[in-house]
Amino acid sequence: MATHGTRGRSGGRPTLEEVAARAGVGRGTVSRVINGSPRVSDATRAAVEAAVAELGYVPNTAARALAANRTDAIALVVPEPETRFFAEPYFSDMLKGVGAELSDTEMQLLLIFAGSDRERQRLAQYLAAHRVDGVLLVSVHADDPLPDLLAQLEIPAVISGPRSAAETLTSVDSDNYGGARQAVEHMLSGGRTRIAHITGRLDVYGAQRRVDGYRDALRDAGHAADERLIEPGDFTEDGGCRAMTNLLARCPDLDAVFAGSDVMAAGARQALREAGRSIPGDVALVGYDDSAIARHMDPPLTSVRQPIEEMGRRMIDLLLAEIADRRPPASRGLERRQVVLATELVARASS
Amino acid sequence: MATHGTRGRSGGRPTLEEVAARAGVGRGTVSRVINGSPRVSDATRAAVEAAVAELGYVPNTAARALAANRTDAIALVVPEPETRFFAEPYFSDMLKGVGAELSDTEMQLLLIFAGSDRERQRLAQYLAAHRVDGVLLVSVHADDPLPDLLAQLEIPAVISGPRSAAETLTSVDSDNYGGARQAVEHMLSGGRTRIAHITGRLDVYGAQRRVDGYRDALRDAGHAADERLIEPGDFTEDGGCRAMTNLLARCPDLDAVFAGSDVMAAGARQALREAGRSIPGDVALVGYDDSAIARHMDPPLTSVRQPIEEMGRRMIDLLLAEIADRRPPASRGLERRQVVLATELVARASS
DNA sequence: AGGTACTGTGGGAGCGCTCCCACAGGTGAT
DNA sequence: ATCACCTGTGGGAGCGCTCCCACAGTACCT
């Protein structure tokens, strides 16, 4: 009789109803106070808050999620094996920005790795179950099916580097085009005229944009286009070394190199050294990313810094806005949002 | 009339009830199939599974959590700022083991940092709301209040290094005592007799156990105890350097040093070098952790390896068992579980 | 024949919340 | 005085599941 209908509750955390009884109000009113609705009188609000404090009431997330059809959680999906995640400062910076922006929110951040097929399978299940209100996607390759899955499931998502100029998802990116221009203009102003470029993998949109920036900066400075100064790389150190070797063979008169990443710049440095070219005496060298490698290279590498932490913050802003917009399913879609953040050239001894 | 009572469901994921209708069975039966109950006939199970596949049914986690009073999630709590998490390979190894062991489970892993006061506050709320079924605690200091909070909230938890010999939480640890013995015995067998020890912070239980192992190994080999050979360190490189300097001043005749961590060994190496002692010629040096530092030191450092990944796996095993045990709240408590895993000496040039 | 025991199944009740309708009481225009 | 329209409030219905009781059917004992 006493325990009628009281199934699993051993210790028994207080419920909304109990708080309501204690405060002498109705359930709806307590709910309104908890959720910060303005339509509550000051006196009532105070009474409810007192009851909440006395009882140590904490809302039941599952009940709320079920009733309101939301989870108050978002996922940061990293389509890489965990190893890379820990190896690259990119992710830790991103996480810092995301965490900071989220810290005055009720939202909970989930970190999900989707490196292996198996993990991707799990993630698909996870998303199908709508266990998060939104998704942050970082470091996505051009042919990744994940963005489309997200679109199909109608889950709000923000991507950290658009897959192409026609990206349909809301995206945040650094100004790859402008960053490349900065690098090239920096070398031009240093008196260099034969500036080569080692590109990143061209199926990565950002790498393409860097090539565009490189080309336009040279053209605007009145230099004739010379496609022989452009050599494709693949973001690896070996690739950078090979590319540099090819460039030296083809254009022995080059006096500067803009590498599409610091790692490739490290490879290029090795090739230059083996060819007996001094840095920056014979050849100026500029990288991209301003990673730890840049600071520790010999000589220290001039590099283009991306505001990764801020990118993380902006991604959260946009995602939260999109989640909020979702509720009234009225006027959606029309304006794609693409935020582009400025880069900064960090000049060091290599140029 | 058509949309009577159908509130938020726009697209409308299928529910248990719909699957039941499709399969021509009752709701309870579908639930039994989904949860792998054996009390279902093969024919019925097949019919239900077909309906699930056709409808693309995915259980609603929130509803399940509410009804069953569990979350199917566990938290890995890191009481450190994120920076340290990324800096130390300890965490990434741990995460790998944990992830592996969890991958054939329905359990979801949450990574929670509790470095700042603010984050700890949040965590307390989080735990009070019982948003996870269990907690994995790594790298906890002796005076941390977190374990007690967990106990008070009756949340199953496993800790990765007991706070003391009287640890009440289930714990997994590497054999600090045995590891220290291995290190000392290795140096003894190399003909060293005056072996010093730079300890870790002694408020860390594991560091104490290493001192115990060091003492006992020497005693068992018939060496008279000499407390002057023991110098306290604090796990930092500077501390290791200072400790080494003190040791050299006090016992110039020492011919070997067992440092309580690789980082301190690096500090000790510097002090030895400055004092003109060669490694391993004049003094043998052995560290603890077998971290990247050990491999890259000059000369490469002999060190004691802890099976961190396996520790992660075992922690999950124990935690899942504890969560399962929880359901029938019958015979609990009596046996504290403390798992200790063997260490391995990795011999390199420094000894 | 009657009993006991098990297997497989259906469906009611309830988990703790949010949403929303209903309604009381106040205010100001007509 | 009448009506319209606010603000603040109570509480019913329902979210999609799990748990468990009830019961039909079959099998095996007395």
- Give the residue on A whose Cα is nearest the Cα of B69: A8
Residue B177 tokens, joined:
């005592």
Q: What is the reported pLDDT for B3?
A: 34
Q: How many CB pairs under 8 A join A and B?
A: 72
| Averaged pLDDT for residues A263-275 | 95
Place of tokens 């990206």: A167
Per the structure, the residue whose CA is closest to nucleotide C7 at C1' is B39
Q: What percent of chain A is modeled with pLDDT above 70?
A: 94
A contact test, residue of B84, B130, B308 with most A CBs within 10 A: B130
CA distance A75 to A92: 15
Query: Could you say which residues 19-58 of protein chain A have a Cβ atom less than 7 A away from any atom in strand D?
Result: 24-29, 31-32, 38-41, 43-45
Identify nearest nucleotide to residue A29 by CA to C1′ distance: D9
B68 touches strand D (CB under 7 A): yes
CA distance A169 to A149: 12
Q: What is the reported pLDDT for B84?
A: 77
CA distance A98 to A320: 12
DSSP reduced 3-state for A247? helix
**Closest to A82 (Cβ–Cβ): which among B59, B92, B122?**
B92
What HEC string does B259-320 produce? ECCHHHHHHHHHHHHHCCCCCCCCCEEEEECCCHHHHHCCCCCEEEECCHHHHHHHHHHHHH
Query: Nearest C-alpha of chain A: how many angstroms from B98?
Result: 12
pLDDT digits (tens, 9 = 90+) for A209-255: 999 999 999 999 999 989 999 999 998 889 999 999 999 999 999 99
Q: What is the reported pLDDT for A3?
A: 34
Q: What is the reported pLDDT for B331?
A: 45
Q: What is the reported pLDDT for B296?
A: 81
B contact test, residue of A58, A70, A103, A116 with most B CBs within 10 A: A58
pLDDT digits (tens, 9 = 90+) for A15-74: 999 999 999 999 999 999 999 999 999 999 999 999 999 999 999 999 999 999 999 999
Average pLDDT, chain A: 90
| CB atoms closer than 10 angstroms to residue A192 | 20
Query: Nearest C-alpha of chain A: how many angstroms from B93?
Result: 9
pLDDT digits (tens, 9 = 90+) for A9-32: 445 799 999 999 999 999 999 999
Identify nearest nucleotide to residue B13 by CA to C1′ distance: D16
Q: What is the reported pLDDT for B7?
A: 40
Q: What is the reported pLDDT for B328?
A: 47
Contact B66 A69 (CB under 8 A): no
Going from the C-alpha of B166 to that of each of B142, B173, B177, B317, the distances in angstroms are 12, 14, 16, 22
CA distance B313 to A269: 43
Contact A82 B63 (CB under 8 A): no
Q: What is the reported pLDDT for A327?
A: 52
Instruction: Please count the CA atoms within 13 angstroms of the CA of A81 that sit on its side-chain side.
Output: 7
Q: What is the reported pLDDT for A84?
A: 77
Contact A154 B86 (CB under 8 A): no
Q: What is the reported pLDDT for A92?
A: 84
Residue B97 tokens, joined:
């083991």
Residue B164 amino acid letter:
S
CA of residue B79 to C1' of nucleotide D3, angstroms: 64
CA distance B203 to B23: 61
Predicted confidence (pLDDT) at residue A104 exceeds the cutoff of 50? yes
Residues of chain B with pLDDT under 70: 1-11, 327-336
Q: On chain C, which bases lie within 7 A of the protein's CB atoms?
A: 7-21
Main-chain dihedrals φ then ψ at residue A295, nearest 5 degrees: -70, -30
Q: Which residues of A139-172 are buried (b: 16+ CB within 10 A; e: fewer)?
A: bbeeebebbebbeebebbbbbbbbbeeebebbbb
CA of residue A153 to C1' of nucleotide D27, angstroms: 50
Q: On chain D, which bases lie within 7 A of the protein's CB atoms?
A: 7-21
Query: Which DSSP symbol is given to B116?
Result: S
pLDDT digits (tens, 9 = 90+) for A284-331: 999 999 987 888 888 999 999 999 999 999 999 999 999 988 754 444
Residues from chain B that touch A154, judged by Cβ atoms under 8 A, are 11
A102 contact partners, CB below 8 Å, separation of at least 6? A74, A109, A316
- Contact predicate A285/A279, CB 8 Å: yes
- Contact predicate B33/B49, CB 8 Å: yes
pLDDT digits (tens, 9 = 90+) for B236-278: 889 999 999 999 999 999 999 999 999 999 999 999 999 999 9
DSSP reduced 3-state for A302? strand
Residues from chain B that touch A129, judged by Cβ atoms under 8 A, are 58-61
Predicted confidence (pLDDT) at residue A100 exceeds the cutoff of 70? yes
Query: Nearest C-alpha of chain A: how many angstroms from B7?
Result: 10
B286 contact partners, CB below 8 Å, separation of at least 6? B183, B186, B187, B256, B257, B258, B259, B265, B301, B302, B303, B304, B350, B351
- Surface-to-core class of residue B246, CB atoms within 10 Å of its CB (0-12 exposed, 13-18 middle, 19+ buried): middle
Q: Taking phi first (over 0 means left), then psi (-120 to 50 degrees means alpha), and beta for anything else, what does residue B144 get?
A: beta
Q: Which domains does chain A have, with CATH numbers?
A: 16-59 (1.10.260.40), 73-173+310-328+335-340 (3.40.50.2300), 176-305 (3.40.50.2300)
Residue B122 amino acid letter:
R
Residues from chain B that touch A66, judged by Cβ atoms under 8 A, are 60, 62-63, 66
Main-chain dihedrals φ then ψ at residue A73, nearest 5 degrees: -135, 145
**Closest to B82 (Cβ–Cβ): which among A13, A83, A95?**
A95
- Contact predicate A255/A228, CB 8 Å: no
Place of tokens 């408590």: B333
